[in-house]
């Protein structure tokens, strides 16, 4: 292992789509443990998530990333040195590791990493068993509250969260319609994942297709996209529908011209609610999700899919892939072999 | 009493603001009872409500009003003839009476009128004890769920629903901020009705003022207006806030250019919900509202205010007053003396 730590630091605040030049890849000395209660982690995979675009723009549920700071990212790695009895070299962990080869993390407190669940491959630990799978699980079940027989509409359905939402809704006895871009994605949703139907927003009139596919309306709309897709779903709510607001990926690179849903008053006409949530609020309930997801995976009722970009230097491009709709399943960046 | 029934029929579907010429005032024969189970009502007051604009435009929770049909309106009157044992001449009733002098109504079923609560003046029966007071009561308490100490923001605060929402929130121990247009309204809200603060949207920067007045954010936002006012409120939600979607009066006359709230993703960042409701769903719980409202009125804890237009021929102009922001309190049209 070299003494060099490759680190991506934010150098300019992105205007519109993130560019390679918004970040600088620097070679810095590998960090060392400075005292007790610290661990040194060799990063293996970075999780690539739409919410990272928000961290570049303003203070939200986390402070904005400062210019000159390491690009913040969730990810997983292997402990290579520890000055805490809770972690030993060789342990696989996940946490806020950042776009870099190595990171020193505290062993305790809110910034401490978690050990990966035993027997779960690192890639899946960052996908179905990671932030995106948990987001799907709690967002759908706790905010969306699907009932057996409900029609569930999922936008961004071929993304990491969307694919899990649709499959969990199927397990709960719902009829599931996904919205995604392109035939490859829609065929995969219906062919491999068992969605009842999938709408290709690049080729079809989304609102008209929802009307055809859900003539009695949509009971739960899990929303990752925003813009025209959000409006299309709101057009066809059933009475007392639940709109689970998870993301608005269509607007993240252009927040100034972001539009709101012009038909939001359909929430009144259908006595429906639209509700936001943030997954960090559910971290004390991770155990119940892990148990269900693990059981379903073992029983073959749910599948995971990983989309890997190879090499730390691909991190900015991998982040762009999300907004370009190029990823199918969970986008990761692989930094080193596990 | 003459044998003539003055009747306003819809003749053209309004484009933009409703015009006198969208309706035709006709003199028709006074209707007569045709069989058992019917009552003839002499209309006294018409309730003037923003939702009537929606009935002119499309099917919603009620069918659209057809061209040539009597303009639909809630209102109150006195029974002058009855062929049903449940009603006697002299009874005061409220129901869907329409813009006309007389109406024949069924004594039973969903279109039957209700008897007015005894001892309540007809004007108040259509305001604080009518649809608008009930909308305030159930929308605030059932959807908004205010807790003691919460900050409650009310838009359209000097209207019939808004004035009741703010006063009920005060009774529940909340801090109340109203938004209304003009000094006369804001002074009345803080001076007479006990609102803690009122923002004049015609003279002040609403978002900046909300920030000043609610530095810890808004817990419940009761929304009657839409557009920039909705966005201003969403800018300053507290964590886990409840946005009670009641109306969008700013957009009712121009639904094609209606905008959605560009900052709706603040619902995610604050883990908040925005929920619609329709008062007809609460009709089986009217008793509990009447009991509370009556107790509060007797104790001087809540006040009612009526804004009367004199004469059936003023009905179209009275409806316009709502969208022009001219009414203070509940807008009624007086057709005849009680």
Determine the average pLDDT of the residues in B5-16. 96
Do A166 and A136 touch, CB atoms closer than 8 A? no
**pLDDT grade for B279, boundaries at 50, 70 and 90:** very high
Q: Which CATH entry fits the domain spanning A4-127+305-334: 3.40.50.920, 3.10.20.30, 1.10.20.140, 3.90.180.10?
A: 3.90.180.10
**pLDDT grade for B252, boundaries at 50, 70 and 90:** confident
Q: CA-to-CA distance for A174 and A166, rounded, in angstroms?
A: 9
- A272 part of contact set with chain B, CB < 8 Å: yes
The residues that bridge with A29 in the sheet, in sequence order, are: A4
- B217 part of contact set with chain A, CB < 8 Å: no
Pairing of strands B306-310, B330-334: parallel
Residue B163's contacts (CB-CB under 8 Å, 6 or more residues apart) are B136, B157, B189, B193, B303, B305, B329
By C-alpha distance, the chain A residue nearest B228 is A260
Q: CA-to-CA distance for A155 and A199, rounded, in angstroms?
A: 9
Domain B4-126+305-334: give its CATH architecture: Alpha-Beta Complex (3.90)
* Cβ–Cβ below 8 Å for A262 and B264: no
* Cβ–Cβ below 8 Å for A264 and B274: yes
Which among A61, A260, A268 has CB closest to B269? A61
**pLDDT grade for B240, boundaries at 50, 70 and 90:** very high
Helix or strand run (H / E) with residue B228: helix B227-234
Determine the average pLDDT of the residues in A229-238. 98
Determine the average pLDDT of the residues in B265-284. 94
**B contact test, residue of A275, A281, A282 with most B CBs within 10 A:** A275
At A107-139, the pLDDT tens digits run 999 899 999 988 889 999 999 999 999 999 999
* Cβ–Cβ below 8 Å for A259 and B258: no
Domain residue ranges in chain A: 4-127+305-334, 131-280
**pLDDT grade for A1, boundaries at 50, 70 and 90:** low
At A301-326, the pLDDT tens digits run 999 999 999 999 999 999 999 999 99
Residues of A in contact with B271 (CB under 8 A): 276-278, 281
At B253-263, the pLDDT tens digits run 776 678 899 99
Do B156 and B182 touch, CB atoms closer than 8 A? no
Mean predicted lDDT score pLDDT of chain B: 95
How much is the CA Rg of chain A, to the nearest whole Å? 20
3-state helix, strand and coil shares in percent for chain A, rounded to the nearest 5: 30, 30, 40
pLDDT surpassing 60 at residue A158: yes
Coil, strand or helix: which one is A257?
helix
pLDDT for B60 equals 86
Q: CA-to-CA distance for A146 and A144, rounded, in angstroms?
A: 6
pLDDT for B255 equals 67
Which residues, numbered 89 to 118 in chain B, qualify as contacts with chain A under a Cβ-Cβ cut-off of 8 Å?
none
Residues of B in contact with A264 (CB under 8 A): 245, 260-261, 264, 274
Which among B270, B273, B278 has CB closest to A271? B278
At B168-219, the pLDDT tens digits run 999 999 999 999 999 999 999 999 999 999 999 999 999 999 999 999 999 9
**A contact test, residue of B245, B273, B276, B279 with most A CBs within 10 A:** B276
**B contact test, residue of A58, A274, A279, A281 with most B CBs within 10 A:** A274
* Cβ–Cβ below 8 Å for B275 and A267: yes
Distances in Å between the Cα of A263 and the Cα atoms of A48, A147, A227, A237 are: 32, 25, 11, 11
Please count the other Cβ atoms lying within 10 Å of the Cβ belonging to residue B324: 12
User: For chain A, first and last CA: distance in Å?
Assistant: 14
pLDDT for A127 equals 96
Topology annotation, domain B131-280: Rossmann fold (3.40.50)
pLDDT for A255 equals 66
What is the number of helices (H) and of strands (E) in chain B? 10, 15
**B contact test, residue of A271, A278, A281 with most B CBs within 10 A:** A271
The residues that bridge with B223 in the sheet, in sequence order, are: B245
pLDDT for B1 equals 53
Which among A61, A246, A261 has CB closest to B264? A261
Coil, strand or helix: which one is A126?
coil
At B116-171, the pLDDT tens digits run 988 889 999 999 999 999 999 999 999 999 999 999 999 999 999 999 999 999 99
- A270 part of contact set with chain B, CB < 8 Å: yes
Residues of B in contact with A266 (CB under 8 A): 276
Taking each helix axis as running N to C, give the angle between helix B131-138 and helix B286-298, from 0 to 180 degrees, rounded to the nearest 10: 100
pLDDT for A68 equals 97
pLDDT surpassing 90 at residue A254: no
- A226 part of contact set with chain B, CB < 8 Å: yes
pLDDT for B254 equals 74
Q: Higher pLDDT residue, A210 or B16?
A: A210
Mean predicted lDDT score pLDDT of chain A: 95
Residues of A in contact with B248 (CB under 8 A): 265
By C-alpha distance, the chain A residue nearest B254 is A262
Examine the predicted complex and report whether its ipTM is higher than 0.95: no
* Cβ–Cβ below 8 Å for A262 and B260: yes
pLDDT for A279 equals 92
- A261 part of contact set with chain B, CB < 8 Å: yes
- A60 part of contact set with chain B, CB < 8 Å: yes
At A264-288, the pLDDT tens digits run 999 999 999 999 999 989 989 999 9
By C-alpha distance, the chain A residue nearest B59 is A269
Q: CA-to-CA distance for B323 and A95, rounded, in angstroms?
A: 53
How much is the CA Rg of chain B, to the nearest whole Å? 20
CA proximity to B139, closest of B159, B164, B117 = B164
Tokens of A229: 């897709």
Q: Which long-range contacts (CB under 8 A, 24 or more apart) does B139-143 make?
A: B139/B165, B139/B222, B139/B244, B139/B246, B139/B277, B139/B279, B140/B165, B140/B168, B140/B169, B140/B220, B140/B222, B140/B244, B141/B168, B141/B172, B142/B277, B142/B282, B143/B242, B143/B244, B143/B275, B143/B277
Max CA pair span of chain A: 63
At B46-102, the pLDDT tens digits run 999 999 999 998 898 899 999 999 999 999 999 999 999 999 999 999 999 999 999
- B228 part of contact set with chain A, CB < 8 Å: no
């Amino acid at each position: 292992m070299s003494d060099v730590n490759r680190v991506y630091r934010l150098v300019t605040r992105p205007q519109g789509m993130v560019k390679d030049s918004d970040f600088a890849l620097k070679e810095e000395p590998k960090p060392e443990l400075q005292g007790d209660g610290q661990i040194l982690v060799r990063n293996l995979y970075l999780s690539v998530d739409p919410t990272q675009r928000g961290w570049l723009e303003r203070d939200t549920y986390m402070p904005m990333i400062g210019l000159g700071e390491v690009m913040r990212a969730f990810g997983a790695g292997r402990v290579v040195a520890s000055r805490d009895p809770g972690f030993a070299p060789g342990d696989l962990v996940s946490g806020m590791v950042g776009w870099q080869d190595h990171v020193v993390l505290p062993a305790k407190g809110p910034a401490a990493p978690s050990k990966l669940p035993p027997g779960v491959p690192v890639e899946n630990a960052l996908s179905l068993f990671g932030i995106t799978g948990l987001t799907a699980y709690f967002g759908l079940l706790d905010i969306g509250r699907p009932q057996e027989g409900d029609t569930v509409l999922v936008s961004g359905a071929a993304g990491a969260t969307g694919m899990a939402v649709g499959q969990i809704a199927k397990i709960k006895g719902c009829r599931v319609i996904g919205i995604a871009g392109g035939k490859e994605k829609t065929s995969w949703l219906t062919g491999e994942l068992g969605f009842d139907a999938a709408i290709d927003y690049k080729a079809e009139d989304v609102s008209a297709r929802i009307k055809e596919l859900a003539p009695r309306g949509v009971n739960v709309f899990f929303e990752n996209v925003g813009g025209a897709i959000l409006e299309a779903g709101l057009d066809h709510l059933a009475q007392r529908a639940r709109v689970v607001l998870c993301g608005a990926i269509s607007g993240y690179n252009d927040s100034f011209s972001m539009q709101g849903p012009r038909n939001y008053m359909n929430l009144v006409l259908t006595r429906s609610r639209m509700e936001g949530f943030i997954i960090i609020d559910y971290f004390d309930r991770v155990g119940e999700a892990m148990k269900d997801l693990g059981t379903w995976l073992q029983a073959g009722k749910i599948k995971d899919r990983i989309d890997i970009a190879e090499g730390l230097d691909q991190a900015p491009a991998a982040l762009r892939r999300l907004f370009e709709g190029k990823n199918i399943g969970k986008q990761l960046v692989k930094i080193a072999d596990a």
